[in-house]
Amino acid sequence: MKIKAVCPRDCYGGCSLILEVEEGRIIKVYGDKENRATEGLICRKGLEYIDRNYGRNRIKRH
Q: What is the CA radius of gyration of the chain?
A: 12
Binding flag, residue 14, ligand SF4 (CB under 6 A)? yes
Q: Mark the segment that binds ligand SF4 (CB under 6 A) among 5-13, 22-30, 50-58.
A: 5-13
38 close to 31: Cβ distance less than 8 angstroms: yes
Which residue, 17 or 60, is less far from ligand SF4 as judged by CB?
Answer: 17
Closest approach, Cβ 7 to ligand SF4, in A, equals 3
Closest approach, Cβ 54 to ligand SF4, in A, equals 18
Q: Which amino acid is at 44?
A: R
C-alpha to C-alpha distance for 50 and 42, rounded to whole angstroms: 14
